[in-house]
Structure 1
Amino acid sequence: MLVEEIMKTNVITLSPEAKIDAALRLLNENHIRHIPIVDSTNKVIGIVSDRDVRDASPSIFNEVVDSEELKNPIKTIMSQPVITIHPLDFVEEIASIFYEEEFACLPVVRDHQLVGIVTEKDMLHTLIQLTGTNVQSSQIEIKVPDRIGILAEVTSIFGKRKVKITSVLIYPYKNDPSYKILVFRIQTMNPLSVIQDLREENYDILWPNTPEYKNDL
């Protein structure tokens, strides 16, 4: 999946000379948490978060509130330089940037021009779609040898039952490189017949492994 498929293109921006109170107003009115700061050519030169604005705002506990603090230009509190991503980057790859850098959003840039933005919420929604948990389905986890052709062998069993696979994920098995875990989400609320077929082929079913499933098989 590409970034251009999940990014928001209607991005609210400010110039570096805009006042902090303007950012505060936009954040509150639009229920957003970040505002990219762009120059006259729409090039991203900084970014401001709701925390940046909150930290720059006078404390509500001050007896005398100095509103002049909010009249300072936004460039005095913006974060820079800004890490950006491209519309044709893979979502799975930029997920590592969110994790490793602990960012809450990333501006999307093409030819040095701001064209969109991706947030943590966008990433979480995409993860839900990729894992198939947004549709009614059943999950089956299988421990398999890590060898060529194993995925095709397992999916052929689902094919014989004409079961629709919503998603497939592959995880390492603990610290043993000889095995992998295949996680299937299938569009059926009663996976018993598929599980029976998998057991008959001597596959190790890790989930579901509750007593009611074991007793019925």
Structure 2
Amino acid sequence: MLVEEIMKSEVTTLPPTAPIEDALRLLNQHHIRHIPIVDQSYKVIGIVSDRDVRDASPSIFDTKSKSEALKHEIQTIMSSPVVTVHPLDFVEEIASIFYEEEFACLPVVRNEKLIGIVTEKDMLYTMIQLTGTNVQGSQIEIKVPNKAGTLPAVANVVGKRKVNISSVLIYPYNDDSDYKILVFRIQTMNPLPIIEDLKRAHYEVLSPNQMRFHNE
């Protein structure tokens, strides 16, 4: 999945000379948390968060100081330089940027011009879609040897039951590089027949535990 498929193309922006009070108004008006700061060519030169604006605002009891502080230019509190992404970047790859840098949003840039924005909420929703957890069904985790051809072989066992597969994820198995974990999200509320098929094919099913279904 590409960034352009999940980004918001309508982005609220401000020039660097805008007063902080403009940012406060836009944050509240549009219920957003970040505003990219752009120059006349729409190049991203900074970004301001709701926290930046709050930190720049004096106490609500100090009315005079607050009024003066909010008239300062937004460039005095913006973060710069700004990490950006390209619309043709893969969503799965930029997820690591959100995690490692602890960002809450990333401006999307093409030819040095802002064309969109991706937030951590967009990323979370996309990860839910990619993992298939938004579709009702069951999840099966299987420990398999880490060798070529294993995934299609396991998928073939699942497919014989004519059950749709919502998603497949692959995880490392602890620190043992000889094995990996295949996680199948399938569209059935009773995965027991497939679990039994997998065990008959000599695959080690880690979860769910069959006893749970026998006891229900």
Q: TM-score, normalised by structure 2?
A: 0.96
Task: Could you list the structure 1 runs, at least 4 aligned residues long, displaced by more than 6 angstroms after superposition.
Answer: none
3-state DSSP of counterpart to 2:70: helix
Q: Which residue pairs with 2:45 in the alignment?
A: 45
Q: Does 1:18 align with 2:34?
A: no
Q: Which residue pairs with 1:114 in the alignment?
A: 114
Q: 1:80 to 1:63 in 2, by over 3 A?
A: closer
Give the superposition deviation at 1:58. Answer: 1.3
Amino acid across the alignment from 1:83: V
Q: Which residue pairs with 2:33 in the alignment?
A: 33
RMSD value over aligned CA atoms? 1.4
Q: Does 1:150 align with 2:150?
A: yes
CA distance in 1, matches of 2:97, 2:71: 33
Amino acid across the alignment from 1:126: T
Q: Which residue pairs with 1:209 in the alignment?
A: 209
Q: TM-score, normalised by structure 1?
A: 0.96
3-state DSSP of counterpart to 1:128: helix
What's the CA shift string for 1:67-106, capped at 9, x where partnerless? 1100001011000011110000001111111111111100
What's the CA shift string for 1:160-203, capped at 9, x where partnerless? 11111000000000011110000000011111111110011111
Amino acid across the alignment from 1:120: E
3-state DSSP of counterpart to 1:211: helix
Q: Which residue pairs with 2:133 in the alignment?
A: 133
What's the CA shift string for 1:123-146, capped at 9, x where partnerless? 000110010000101000000000
Q: Which residue pairs with 2:7 in the alignment?
A: 7
How many pairs does the alignment contain?
Answer: 216
Q: Which residue pairs with 2:70 in the alignment?
A: 70
CA distance in 2, matches of 1:149, 1:215: 35
203-212 or 161-170, larger mean C-alpha shift: 203-212
Give the superposition deviation at 1:209. Answer: 1.2
What's the CA shift string for 1:29-50, capped at 9, x where partnerless? 1110000000111110100000
Q: 1:162 to 1:210 in 2, by over 3 A?
A: closer
Give the superposition deviation at 1:63. Answer: 7.5
CA distance in 1, matches of 2:34, 2:76: 16
3-state DSSP of counterpart to 1:157: helix
3-state DSSP of counterpart to 1:71: coil
How do residues 76-91 of structure 1 correspond to structure 2 at under 5 angstroms? 76-91=76-91
Give the superposition deviation at 1:62. Answer: 3.8
What's the CA shift string for 1:6-53, capped at 9, x where partnerless? 000000000011110000000011110000000111110100000000
Q: 1:210 to 1:61 in 2, by over 3 A?
A: farther
- How much identity, in percent, do the aligned residues show? 70
Q: 1:23 to 1:126 in 2, by over 3 A?
A: same
Tell me if the contact between 2:192 and 2:210 (Cα under 8 Å) persists in the aligned partners: no
Give the superposition deviation at 1:214. Answer: 6.2
3-state DSSP of counterpart to 2:14: coil
Q: Does 1:96 align with 2:115?
A: no
Amino acid across the alignment from 1:108: V
Q: Which residue pairs with 1:54 in the alignment?
A: 54
